Amino acid sequence: MKFLNKFSLSLCIVLLLSLIFVQVSKAEITVPKPVGYVNDFAGIVSDIHEARLNSLIQELKSKTGTEVVVVTLSSLENYPIEDVALTIGREWKVGQKGENNGLIILVAPNDRKMRIEVGYGLEGYLTDGHAGRIRDEFMIPYFQTGNYEKGLVLGTAAVINAVAKGYGVEISGNYNVQAPQQNSKPTSPLANFIFIAIFLFFAIKYPRLTLLLLLSSGRGGGSNSGGFGGFGGGGGFGGGGASGRW
């Protein structure tokens, strides 16, 4: 009987210490301050694509109230990516207060992990299954070839399309999102040549418009660090979404 009492006491102590350790570990997660809707701390997104994503995210917010936040980190510091995404959502208070309609797309290229974190208020518009398909079709295939920018851009565009469709609105100028073919390179020299040719055509024909676009496409860390006013005061996240690694 004494043995059972001692065993029960020891078991309770172990469980209590485990719970304390877990809580302390979670509390130690620190994340940088946001600089805007696109927070490219890992430096994988070009200026032009960052500016375009910012524009699309702001249009989605103006039409639906949804706040989409893109974050890239050089390291997760050995924490589960799910915990880091939740910490970002809650500390930054992503989403509108009372609506909890925030969404986080987190990529850690050096750790080869990604996460789509969906706020409580958006779980009906972007289910776990839908988030998983976006991960598998538009993000992981490009990440596997080292094309982090394209995977992140197309994944974000697909998320924006899904939420906009759920609300019955259209986002002007969004990317033409198409899943890559299996066992094929995401880009080709011909595609790059066509893109450059189109860009040069517009640069020659509309030089002022092109100059304005380039001048307004400053990186999030530089152009927004002093003027970003924060998010909507939400932060209601419960673990919905999809994670992945490659």
pLDDT averaged per 10 residues, the chain (length 246): 56 55 61 95 97 96 96 96 96 90 97 96 93 97 97 97 94 71 51 68 64 46 51 78 96
Query: Which parts of the chain are beta strand (E)?
Result: 38-40, 67-72, 102-108, 113-119, 237-245
Alpha-carbon span 147 to 149, nearest angstrom: 6
Residue 21: inside a domain: no
Instruction: Give the per-residue pLDDT at 238.
Output: 75
Residue 234: inside a domain: no
Instruction: Give the per-residue pLDDT at 141.
Output: 97
User: Domain residues for 98?
Assistant: 38-195
Residue 12: inside a domain: no
Residue 87: inside a domain: yes
| Predicted model pTM | 0.71
CATH number at residue 165: 3.10.310.50
Residue 242: inside a domain: no
Residue 159: inside a domain: yes
Residue 92: inside a domain: yes
Counted domains in the chain: 1
E strand or H helix at 63: helix 47-64
